[in-house]
Amino acid sequence: MRLLGILLLVATPAFARQVVPDTLPPASPIEASLEGLTLDPEALEELAAWLDERLQDPLDLNTAPVGELARLPGLSPLLARRIAAYRRHRPLTEVDELLRVEGFTPELLARIRPFVTVRPVRSPVRPSGYMLQRVDYFPEQADARYPGPPLRLQTRLRLRYGRLEAALTLESDPGEPFRWDPATHTYGFDHQAGFVAWRGSGWLQQLIVGDFSARFGAGLTLWSMPAIDSYHAAADAPLRQGSGLMPYSGTDEVRYFRGLALTLAPAPALRLALFGSRRWLDARLDTLEATLQAGVVSLPASGLHRTEAERSRKGVLRSDVLGGALSFEHARGQLGLVGYTTRFGHPLQPGDALYNRHAWRGRTACALGVFGQLLLGRALLSAEVGGTLGRPFGLVAALSGPVGRFARATLAVRHLPTRFVSLHGDPFDTRSGTPTGETGGYVGLELTPAPDWQLLAAVDQYRLPWPRYGQFWPTTGRTHWLRLTMRPRPWLETYLQVRHDRAEQRTEAPGPGAALLEATAPERYLSLRWHGTYAFSSTLRLEARLEHARRTRSGQRGTGWLFYQGVRWLPRPWLQLDARVTFFDSDTALLLYAPEPGLRYSMALAALSDRGQRTLLRLQLRPLSQLLLQLRYTTTLEETPTRNIRCTWQFLLLWQMG
């Protein structure tokens, strides 16, 4: 009966006889622009919040830095460079003029149009901003060990007037108590982030007081916020375009700086970024035998402070960072130098495990990197060489450009020697934690033989020359990824996707005397997916996905499948309803992931195992043009012998100004 119900859900659109629209109705400009991306949750939240700000204050195509243009989803660093080259000779007079830039398509223009503009020389100054309150309730996370309620509470405030901008974010995770403890830098909410920033047009381009992120070059030396590493971008996946110093008020509790930041323009083609930061980081301390002083054994990055042990690690390590970058912009590219010195209040002293042998130790680290981009005809070459002084330097590089009339391709390489260290770096596709020993090559292809057909493919081959956490000797791996997207009708879109991974993972092998020894064994992972979206009418949108996954490790095979059917209904401009039913069946050790519509500034990712079903309802109301209300409810039933049921209630209120 369940299978029959699934088939009926899938077949329903095929028998529709209503008048369908010319195109698939997007959910919202932000959701439409993020569709198909697979991101780190904090990266997605930060990008969604930035896009929402761009809805209120769009980027001026004639003045926006290349790094900010490249942050727009779908706009690669190559296209951002082409826009910069185009406007040097002829300022844009309207947004549609982007179609004259080589590589731009009407689909990409429609995707970024809400976030860009061409401003007149003098435009009126109006205040804008928003206030947001969000509450998430997790009944099943009520635990006597946690003194705080099973709630995630988040408050956001952001204001902009002309060149001046200010923001504040307050958040507490489930189980974290409200408390006032200046010794651990806790003032009511467990996490606070915010800034006051001013943007100029002369020699002082930007001034930030408070929290900020720093992204330069290809991310090898200094990239303090999570990046978009997704094979779904295929030809654009490994390409990075640093946006420099940016104000920060997100909920990631680790990867940002706090202090003072400046961006100067001593000459039209020169940019000088300078910053100083002092933060108190979470750390697990232990007494060093050699000096009998406290040393840092590990740096927890979860941001959770529920138990007494977690709270005892909060804010015990002072981190001072001084850094900067000098970049030269040219019509054909960019050349830059980035560096920093960081000093910790206690020396870093990781444990004696084999994977820690080449980890950084001591109080002070200095890093230096050289990065650049160069337009070579129709292609873009980007590279960065850098690392921590006293250790071998690493290299990341990528060459991207068109191949014939209907294809684009990217070739990328990365070489990080065994003893390579980058405490604040995040280059493309490093496998775990801060970048360390890895050598890899990547090839991405985008083929568009017809307007309604697109083929994306990627191959990523890598080698880890030294043991990592959970692995006990050098390993290798390879990922194959392929997606074919078809749009046979303006109101119908579907794709087929295949992913095959070959790697080596931790296991145990029998040893002498029936003992179990740590070992590494080959592992294979295969995923097959079909996904379809159908505009049933101008107010009704259907979405379905069927996925099968299989993992083989140490001669044992685990399999799983997932199916979901989603409905989006917009009966009125001020009312939207999302509903989804997901069925899943997999082995306990094999997780299946299903992206879900979340609340404002977030995208949910459900991790499912065992056998069961998951239901989602999201109601969105806009009774006033400035007021948005969202209510989201999810429940997951796992058909185990105990029939485990987990549910979540989420509520959001957003008041927009301007």
Q: Is the pLDDT of residue 501 over 60?
A: yes
Helix (H, G, I), strand (E, B) or coil at 42: helix
Tokens in use for 546? 């069927």
Binned at pLDDT 50, 70 and 90, residue 438 comes out as: very high
Q: Residue range 244-252: average pLDDT?
A: 91
Q: What whole-number percentage of the chain has pLDDT above 70?
A: 90
Hey, how many other C-beta atoms are within 10 angstroms of the C-beta on 602? Answer: 21
Lowest mean pLDDT segment, chosen from 133-142, 182-191, 408-417: 182-191
The Cα–Cα gap between 424 and 285 comes to: 21
Binned at pLDDT 50, 70 and 90, residue 292 comes out as: low
Helix (H) or strand (E) holding 467: none
Binned at pLDDT 50, 70 and 90, residue 3 comes out as: very low
The Cα–Cα gap between 328 and 330 comes to: 7
The Cα–Cα gap between 487 and 464 comes to: 40
CB burial readout 354-388, b (16+ within 10 A) else e: ebeebbbeeeebebbbbbbbbbeeebbebbbbbbb
CB 287 within 8 A of CB 295: yes
The Cα–Cα gap between 150 and 646 comes to: 13
Nearest to 224 by CA among 318, 342, 390: 342
Helix (H) or strand (E) holding 482: strand 475-489
Tokens in use for 527? 């995923």
The Cα–Cα gap between 589 and 507 comes to: 13
- 573 or 185: which leads in pLDDT: 573
The CA-atom distances, in angstroms, between 93 and each of 43, 54, 97, 243, 518 are 33, 19, 7, 25, 65
Chain position carrying tokens 């179609």: 99
Nearest to 381 by CA among 218, 231, 223: 218
Q: Residue range 159-179: average pLDDT?
A: 92
CB 400 within 8 A of CB 387: no
The contacts of residue 333 (CB under 8 Å, 6+ apart) are 81, 372, 373, 374, 375, 380
Tokens in use for 96? 């549609």
Cα pseudo-dihedral 68, 70, 73, 75, rounded to 10:
140
The Cα–Cα gap between 273 and 239 comes to: 22
CA angle 578-580-586, nearest 5°? 155
pLDDT digits (tens, 9 = 90+) for 298-311: 888 888 999 888 99
Q: Residue range 79-100: average pLDDT?
A: 87
Hey, how many other C-beta atoms are within 10 angstroms of the C-beta on 126? Answer: 12
Q: Is the pLDDT of residue 22 over 60?
A: no
Q: Residue range 507-513: average pLDDT?
A: 73
- 328 or 604: which leads in pLDDT: 328
The Cα–Cα gap between 395 and 543 comes to: 42
Q: Residue range 25-54: average pLDDT?
A: 66
What pLDDT was estimated at residue 248?
A: 93
CA 42 to chain centroid, in Å, comes to: 6
CA angle 111-113-119, nearest 5°? 160
Q: Residue range 344-348: average pLDDT?
A: 93
How is the chain split into domains, by residue range?
A: 27-121, 573-658
Tokens in use for 456? 């994306």
CB burial readout 304-329, b (16+ within 10 A) else e: bbbeeebbebbbbbebebbbbbbbeb
What pLDDT was estimated at residue 430?
A: 67
The Cα–Cα gap between 243 and 217 comes to: 9
Nearest to 137 by CA among 170, 172, 178: 172
Q: Residue range 187-192: average pLDDT?
A: 91
pLDDT digits (tens, 9 = 90+) for 574-583: 999 999 999 9
Q: Put residue 237 in one of left, alpha, beta given phi > 0 → left and psi -120 to 50 → alpha.
A: alpha
Nearest to 619 by CA among 586, 653, 642, 585: 653
Beta strands at 116-117 and 59-60: parallel, antiparallel or unpaired? parallel
Helix (H) or strand (E) holding 512: none
DSSP state of 2: H
Tokens in use for 147? 């003194």
Q: Put residue 234 in one of left, alpha, beta given phi > 0 → left and psi -120 to 50 → alpha.
A: left
Q: Is the pLDDT of residue 460 over 90?
A: yes
CB 560 within 8 A of CB 590: yes
Q: Which fold has domain 27-121?
A: DNA polymerase; domain 1 (1.10.150)
